[in-house]
Amino acid sequence: MTRGLAVALLALGLAVGCATAAPEAAETPTLVLYGGTVVTVDSKRPRAQAVAVRGSQIVAVDSNRAVLRLARAPPRRVNLDGRTVLPGFVDSHTHLFNEGDPDQQTLQVRQQLALENGITALGDMFVSPELLQRLKAFASSGKLRVRTSLYLI
């Protein structure tokens, strides 16, 4: 992604909420993105400056000051330098996983392509029973990171 686009994608597969209260101790952020614009997709508060994340959970969305203050232990901090954070995109009709005869490595490569393009949820059309079994094994291995809906042949 070019700097000219000034877009940073938060590919966590989560809708961005507007949490403003201090997180519980168990929710102390491990990642803080600050210094940009956070698109919240919340009509009551459509924009913020920073977002705090713990694992795969967004724990706070607020001003730079408020979010940076939440970090008790030093989290990984990313200065967005004015860039924008967007929620992940949903590709509701794709054939990402069902071309050819994908093995675990191929599934991982195709998934990475989706994630690099901000796609965090997808619907894969015309999935064969064989591919369904491969995708189940991929998910069971803990490697499936994209929320996936499968449509069987």
Return the DSSP state at 142: T
CATH number for 118: 3.30.110.90
CATH number for 11: 2.30.40.10
Q: Is 125 exposed, middle or buried (0-12, 13-18, 19+ CB in 10 A)?
A: middle
Among positive and negative, which fits the CA dihedral 83, 23, 87, 142? positive
Question: How many folded domains does the chain comprise?
Answer: 2
Residues 76 and 14 reside in one and the same domain? yes
CB-CB contact of 86 with 115 (8 Å): no
Domain that holds residue 101: 89-152
Q: Whole-model pTM?
A: 0.62
The pLDDT assigned to 24 comes to 52
Q: Which residues of the chain are under the pLDDT cut of 50?
A: 1-23
Local structure of 58: helix, strand or coil: strand
pLDDT, one tens digit per residue, over 80-92 is 999 999 988 999 9
Can you tell me the distance from the alpha carbon of 23 to that of 60, in angstroms, rounded to the nearest whole number? 7
